[in-house]
Amino acid sequence: MPVIDSETQFIGISPDVNMQEKKSTLANSPTQVYTMTDISNYVIEASNPPVEEQVSIDSSQILAMGTTPIEILAAPGEDNYYIVERITLEYTYGTTAYQFPTSPTFYLDGCFNSYIDRSLLTVSTNTVCSISGNLRNTITVGSGSGSVKVITNNDLLDTNLIMSTTNSDDPTNGDGTLLVKIIYRVAKLG
């Protein structure tokens, strides 16, 4: 993507803009120019690049996560909040699969909200789950390209991220490990 000159007063197409095709490999297809979204995403990323963090979770933590939730991200501080781009859960099977007494799922909660089927941890193979987007109790307003996701009744300021089981029960028997990879930004209110 071209560097945006900070002295530019308006957005237009100049002769030196890279007009490389971005969406199609077909001959004679129309050339796609950079959109306002491309430009704003570039500015946001340049001023606040994403952070990738990895959290290793051992078997003893997984076996107790119903009664002792696992903190994945600490609270970011007063007037700060997380913008989560992606979370990947990599499960490495040991010798025994976990069993969940009553919980059909386990969850991530706090600055991000997602329920993950327990089968990620109850299989006898290595597995991966990837979740994208800043999810937090959203409601879709409208449909198609005009839909809007509205965050409801959430105080995301200075909120951490935890992992636990749906019914607060501890998994049993397993000995695998989990590696949680998170790509996020920290933003400040105001």
Closest among 53, 63, 79, 64 to 161, alpha carbons compared: 53
pLDDT one-digit tens code per residue, 1-17:
555 555 544 455 555 66
Model confidence at 188, pLDDT cuts 50, 70, 90, reads confident
Task: Judge if 69 and 12 occupy the same domain.
Answer: no
In this structure, the answer to whether residues 32 and 62 fall within a common structural domain is: no
Task: Say if residue 97 is in the same domain as residue 173.
Answer: yes
Structural domains counted in the chain: 2
Let me know whether 102 and 116 are in one domain. yes
For residue range 44-91, list pLDDT tens digits in order: 666 678 899 999 999 999 999 999 999 999 999 998 988 888 899 999
Q: Which residues pair with 51 in a beta bridge?
A: 184
Report the candidate in 131, 162, 160 with the shortest Cα–Cα distance to residue 64. Answer: 162
Domain span holding position 21:
1-47
Please report the beta strands in the chain, taking only residues with DSSP state E, as ranges in sequence order.
51-57, 70-73, 80-92, 105-110, 114-117, 127-132, 138-141, 148-151, 161-165, 177-188
